[in-house]
Chains A and B, each alone.
Chain A
Amino acid sequence: DIQMTQSPSSVSASVGDRVTITCRASQGISSWLAWYQQKPGKAPKLLIYDASSLQSGVPSRFSGSRSGTDFTLTISSLQPEDFATYYCQQANSFPPWTFGQGTKVEIK
């Protein structure tokens, strides 16, 4: 199975900060990668798919990029509603599909 290694596990940041989360795939997945946001007690929400495509309705301060098997989620200017846990997920052609361990974005 493809393993997804996400870092950091947590990050403390202030409103207005630029936040970057990374995810590394254990093997090539092309651009089959998604990013999700999850708030406590709620279902995950799709933010980014195909590594860099913004899901409809998601603010443009969220962006994604790829370099080989390394993927990055960037929040350009952190807003109060962005404090949450973020997960990457590989969506390679066939299952099983796997998630990263998650990154908790906390208030500094």
Chain B
Amino acid sequence: EVQLVESGGGLIQSGGSLRLPCATSGFIVSSNHMSWVRQAPGKGLEWVSVIYSGGSTYYADSVKGRFTISRDNSKNTLYLQMDSLRAEDTAVYYCARSGNGPGYFDYWGQGTLVTVSS
């Protein structure tokens, strides 16, 4: 069974850093394209970053230069390192696996809430 479980969220001051792990099971992270998608409270969905199976990474302009996506193949875990956090980064962060195409997300985690206080 495919499972994705995010953790690491919490309350952090503006300018601080946080790393979100996404532990996975039921599939091999390094063989799949993996993304982070976020949702600010009461708002819509925003794609944040992707790491392709080949290792290439892409970011939304809103986080470029501040966030870093990575994976640990030995732990089958995806990460999002978030630096220089801003109040507008406050959101539930979901990790998601691509399926049926690089940009479609067929499995999602339950999400972890990051609150950035100003």
Contact = CB atoms under 8 A, between A and B. Distances in A.
Interface residues of B, number: 23
Interface size class of A (residues with CB under 8 A): 20 to 34
Interface in A41-57: 42-46, 49-50, 53, 55
B101 A91 contact: yes
A101 interface: yes
Q: Helix, strand, loop or mixed for chain A's interface?
A: loop
28 contacts: A1-B61, A34-B104, A34-B105, A36-B105, A38-B45, A44-B45, A44-B108, A45-B108, A46-B99, A46-B100, A46-B105, A53-B100, A55-B100, A55-B106, A87-B44, A89-B47, A90-B103, A91-B102, A91-B103, A91-B104, A92-B103, A94-B58, A95-B47, A96-B47, A96-B58, A99-B46, A100-B44, A102-B45
